[in-house]
Amino acid sequence: MEENPRRSVVADIPMAMCRLSADGSKIKVTSRSARVCGRVRQLESSHCNEALSCTKSNRSIERPWMKIALLGQFGSGNTGNDGSLEAMLDFLRSSKVDAELLCICSNPEAIAKKYNIEAISIRVIVARGRWFNRFNRILGDIPRQVIGFYTILAQLNGLDLMIIPGTGILDDFQETAFGWPFVILRWCLAARLNRMRIAFVSIGAGPIRLPLSRLFLKTGARMAHYRSYRDKLSRDFMKSIGFDVSRDPLSADLAFGLPAAAESSRENPTAVYVGVGVMAYYGWKKADEDGEAIYRTYLDKIAEFISWLQERGLNVRLLTGDIVDRRAVVDIMKMFPENEANSGSKHIVAEEMTSLHDVMAQIAHTDIVVATRYHNVVCALRMGRPVISLAYSSKNDALLSATGLEEYCHYVETFDVEVLKSQVEKMLADRARLVLEVKKGVAGFRAQLAEQEATIHATLFEIAEQRGEIRDVSQLPQS
Q: What is the pLDDT of residues 356-393, one digit of tens each?
A: 999 999 999 999 999 999 999 999 999 999 999 999 99
User: Quick check: 56 pLDDT over 60?
Assistant: no
Residue 127 is predicted with a pLDDT of 64
Residue 467 is predicted with a pLDDT of 67
Indicate the pTM of the whole model: 0.83
3-state secondary structure of 252: coil
pLDDT band, very low/low/confident/very high, at 474 (cuts 50, 70, 90) = very low
Residue 262 is predicted with a pLDDT of 97
Residue 346 is predicted with a pLDDT of 56
- Assess contact for 456 and 202: CB atoms under 8 A: no
Q: Which of 137-141, 157-161, 403-407 has the lowest mean pLDDT?
A: 137-141
What order do you get walking across the sheet with 315-319 strand by strand?
A: 348-349, 315-319, 273-277, 368-371, 387-391, 409-411
**Mean predicted confidence (pLDDT) in 395-400:** 97
Measured CA to CA, the distance from residue 91 to residue 114 in angstroms comes to 17
Higher pLDDT, 1 or 381: 381
Higher pLDDT, 121 or 127: 121
User: Quick check: 283 pLDDT over 60?
Assistant: yes
Amino acid residing at 390? L
3-state secondary structure of 63: coil
> pLDDT for 198-256, tens place per residue?
999 999 999 999 999 999 999 999 999 999 999 999 999 999 999 999 999 999 999 99
Measured CA to CA, the distance from residue 211 to residue 269 in angstroms comes to 53
**Mean predicted confidence (pLDDT) in 348-358:** 96
User: Quick check: 41 pLDDT over 50?
Assistant: no
- Assess contact for 318 and 350: CB atoms under 8 A: yes
Higher pLDDT, 45 or 281: 281
Amino acid residing at 172? D
Q: What percent of the chain has a predicted confidence (pLDDT) above 70?
A: 82
**Residues shown for the chain:** 479
User: Quick check: 454 pLDDT over 70?
Assistant: yes
Q: What percent of the chain has a predicted confidence (pLDDT) above 90?
A: 70
pLDDT band, very low/low/confident/very high, at 412 (cuts 50, 70, 90) = very high
How would you classify the pairing of strands 387-391 and 409-411?
A: parallel
Measured CA to CA, the distance from residue 122 to residue 163 in angstroms comes to 14
Residue 143 is predicted with a pLDDT of 77
Residue 459 is predicted with a pLDDT of 84
